[in-house]
Structure 1
Amino acid sequence: MACSSESSVKFSSSDLNTTAMPQMSGHVEQNLQPVLFQIYGKIWNVQARLGQGVSASVYRVTSGHGSSAAVKEFQVDPQGGDYGYLKESSVLEDIQGHKNIVTLYGVFTNHSPLGVATRCLLLELLDVSVSELLVRARNQGHSMWLIQHCARDVLEALCFLHREGYVHADLKPRNVLWSADDECFKLIDFGLSFKEGHQDVKYIQTDGYRAPEAELQNSLAQAGLEGDAGCTAAVDLWSLGIILLELFSGIKLKETVRSQEWKANSAAIVDHIFSSNAMVYPAIPVFHLRDLIKSMLHHDPKLRSTAEAALISPFFNIPFAPHIEDLVLLPTPVLRLLNVIDDSHLHNEEEYEDIIEDMREECQKYGSVVSLLIPKENPGKGQVYVEYANAGDSKEAQRLLTGRTFDGKFVVATFYPLSAYKRGYLYQTVQ
């Protein structure tokens, strides 16, 4: 539940680790990374800067109780209007409660030791972004399981957002993040969002993911001219179509979608991308995904699919298993250890119980273990499944256990979907 109350944050010099701060000379540096925030009476230490834009910076913070969160700190508004902060906080407060939208915990004002007051959002801390997944793709497309998971989650978020009357207006890979604890993708960054029919932002969307009508409107605004009508929710579907095409191809398409060839016949380019990758994927899902993406990329926004219509695509009726790469890239509270147990150990009850106890003892060094399973038969025979109390513990265990030896064997540690584990469904993952 979002908290809309304000917290006024004040620091004294004794609150600060001054050795962590660069020397100041002559002017106030607004981009100085804070060392800590005091939020609702509690101290939160800054662990890292996660991102920095023109109007705001985002930090990973932790409390003394082991809780983690993100703080989005807006730059000082020279006009004193705090427009960006007020815009995003009001939108987020209005759309809270959907599992595929980042959770707003609260808002507060930060008073730095230099006397600068900044407005901040306290947000749910998320994990890897689709942008990072694309970097790791190394020009190879991601699995159908991952593409389907991302497409469904984003469409669910857009259905909710559009029903509430909002347009996200800046959908891009960097604004779609994985939630390790909730095991789904979520939308972030609503700084350009607006109520459909009441567009209050002239320049929307990011180059490479910008719909044709937004491109036209931005050009008119730059020339000081007014367009006939504001952009609609259809701009979000265009952006998602490009994101899914990039996930399928493993290639950033910014230059492609800016080309004259794309503007002349984008459908032919989509067909070419799919025919080039056709040997990698099974045929029927490829056709369904291609048609889904093409339905989002009509140049006429009136012909473009809606989020609700896209969700009933046949592509979402096909069950996929994750690749092992997916289970390495997307953290969950469940860890799966491979190359650990010999078959011979599984059928000697005394040895089996000893191994269970040894594995539990070892895994508890990295966090609170909720349950541990070593199947004696396929699927999952001889693999170790460890459910941690939270994804933070499983990520630490994965980092420290990978490459370790257990009974003379090198351990391979991946994550595993908590939902499947809870149902007792053990994927035969595609290698």
Structure 2
Amino acid sequence: MAVTSATAEQKASPALFEIYGKIWNVQARLGQGVSASVYRVSSGRATSAVKEFQVDPQGGDYGYLKESSVLEKIQGHKNIVTLYGMFTNHNPFGVATHCLLLELLDVSVSELLVRASNQGHSMWLIQHCARDVLEALTFLHREGFVHADLKPRNVLWSADDECFKLIDFGLSFKEGHQDVKYIQTDGYRAPEAELQNSLAQAGVESDSGCTTAVDLWSLGIVLLEMYSGMKLKETVKSQEWKDNSSAIVDHIFSSNALVYPAIPVFHLRDLIKSMLHNDPKLRSTAKAALMSPFFSIPFAPHIEDLVLLPTPVLRLLNVIDDSHLYNEDEYEDIIEDMKEECQKYGTVVSLLIPKENPGKGQVFVEYANAGDSKEAQRLLTGRTFDGKFVVATFYPLGAYKRGYLYQTVQ
């Protein structure tokens, strides 16, 4: 984002936006950069995100025009945030600001890293994130664009689509036509971008622009952080990293080797190393990286994953005794009771209580959307049902629809 100054009035959170003749109330400020703020907004049962760009004192609309033009050209991919529209907001201080109306997403990889508490994420989560981001990059790079700011904060989970999506295209550019001097964020910056940024700071014109390879470097660092559970900014800035990053990656993997099965660990390590060559020409492309054997291994989510990543399906544990399952009248009563309770929080599409393993005695509730299931999860967790404390997690919609119920989720 370009650095701009703004008055306190302009930075104050608006109470509402009028978008295409409809009033959207601001529920929360989700983030603030130097050039834009992002808000969660609602109108009736609909929710979205608004990215409001600060007023440029020079009168230009560079940041807004750049991001909106890139987003318009790359719409339609499931792993890229959806742009619903653009509008001008007139605030009470008489200032007009340019805004983007965007798909509202959920937890970011940055938040997931904080919650990992230096433990590292499950192979299922790392594989899911890596595949989704590589799919987005394959599409983006095929269209000729470089994201140029891939980092944990710019990869968000979509509860309704059950996938990770790329956001924030404020530094993106067409390969071969780099119109941004300073790209990428410290800690996720490729060596060639580091050099180019330094030259630009010194006022020296660089002949060659950065390529799509900078995005693969950033993703390699993100995946290494997800595996280790640690922020690696200081590590990647160290002389030891510059001298032999491969040895440091090996050390990180050998330190965690006991936690994970060996073969997937080797495949993930090799995938990450393929993205972290100092020479951008030697780095894997996004399309080639998707062919890694790491993506052919099936993983089940951990219970922590199912708590962290919202979906439209809720799974309730510690609710049903075996005795309820084999008395048909009692079983039907329980189903009706659970439906009645769960419909207090949103529209229930289906409800399943398996009588046999896998999933025996667990309650699976499919809601019309993830907003309803999130509200239900918040309000049901810790409640008592028939004298027992309810444990509520989310559950992958795709697995539920296929009738695939995990026997054990560690």
TM tier relative to shorter chain:
over 0.9
CA offsets 1:204-252 (integer angstroms, 9 cap, x no match): 0000000000000000000000123000000000000000000000000
* Aligned: 1:44 with 2:40: no
* Aligned: 1:279 with 2:258: yes
Match of 2:196 in 1: 217
Q: Which moved more, 1:123-132 or 1:29-38?
A: 29-38
Please say if residues 321 and 428 of structure 1, whose CA atoms lie closer than 8 Å, have aligned partners that are also in contact: no
From 244, 250, 256, the equivalent of 2:235 is: 256
Distance between the aligned counterparts of 1:59 and 1:375, measured in 2? 41
Q: Which amino acid aligns with 1:43?
A: I
Match of 1:30 in 2: 10
Match of 1:4 in 2: none
Paired residue secondary structure (1:351): helix
Distance between the aligned counterparts of 1:170 and 1:429, measured in 2? 38
Paired residue secondary structure (1:302): helix
Please say if residues 324 and 429 of structure 1, whose CA atoms lie closer than 8 Å, have aligned partners that are also in contact: no
Distance between the aligned counterparts of 1:68 and 1:380, measured in 2? 33
**Runs of 4+ more than 6 Å apart:** none
Q: What pairs with 1:25-424 in structure 2 (closer than 5 Å)?
A: 29-63=9-43, 65-424=44-403
Paired residue secondary structure (1:371): strand
Q: Which amino acid aligns with 1:237?
A: L
Q: Which amino acid aligns with 1:30?
A: Q
Identity of aligned residues (%): 89
Structure 1 position 429, deviation (Å): 3.9
Distance between the aligned counterparts of 1:297 and 1:316, measured in 2? 19
Distance between the aligned counterparts of 2:285 and 2:393, measured in 1? 36
CA offsets 1:356-393 (integer angstroms, 9 cap, x no match): 00000000000000000000000000000000000000
Structure 1 position 126, deviation (Å): 0.1
Paired residue secondary structure (2:81): coil
Q: Which amino acid aligns with 1:145?
A: W
Distance change >3 Å, CA 344–CA 28, structure 1 → 2: closer
Structure 1 position 42, deviation (Å): 0.2
Paired residue secondary structure (1:359): helix
Structure 1: give runs of 5+ residues left out of the alignment.
Answer: 1-26
Distance between the aligned counterparts of 1:369 and 1:430, measured in 2? 24
Please say if residues 71 and 120 of structure 1, whose CA atoms lie closer than 8 Å, have aligned partners that are also in contact: yes
Match of 1:6 in 2: none
Distance between the aligned counterparts of 1:31 and 1:228, measured in 2? 38
Q: Which amino acid aligns with 1:265?
A: N
Paired residue secondary structure (2:280): coil
Paired residue secondary structure (1:30): helix
Distance between the aligned counterparts of 1:39 and 1:414, measured in 2? 35
Distance between the aligned counterparts of 1:251 and 1:154, measured in 2? 20
Distance change >3 Å, CA 28–CA 309, structure 1 → 2: closer
Aligned length: 404
RMSD, matched Cα: 0.7
CA offsets 1:14-56 (integer angstroms, 9 cap, x no match): xxxxxxxxxxxxx762201100000000000000000000100
Distance between the aligned counterparts of 1:52 and 1:303, measured in 2? 36
Distance between the aligned counterparts of 1:367 and 1:346, measured in 2? 26
Please say if residues 9 and 93 of structure 2, whose CA atoms lie closer than 8 Å, have aligned partners that are also in contact: no
Q: Which amino acid aligns with 1:52?
A: Q
Distance between the aligned counterparts of 2:331 and 2:408, measured in 1? 24
Structure 1 position 337, deviation (Å): 0.1
Q: TM-score, normalised by structure 1?
A: 0.93
Please say if residues 28 and 40 of structure 2, whose CA atoms lie closer than 8 Å, have aligned partners that are also in contact: yes
Distance between the aligned counterparts of 1:348 and 1:66, measured in 2? 39
Paired residue secondary structure (2:252): helix
Distance between the aligned counterparts of 1:393 and 1:345, measured in 2? 27
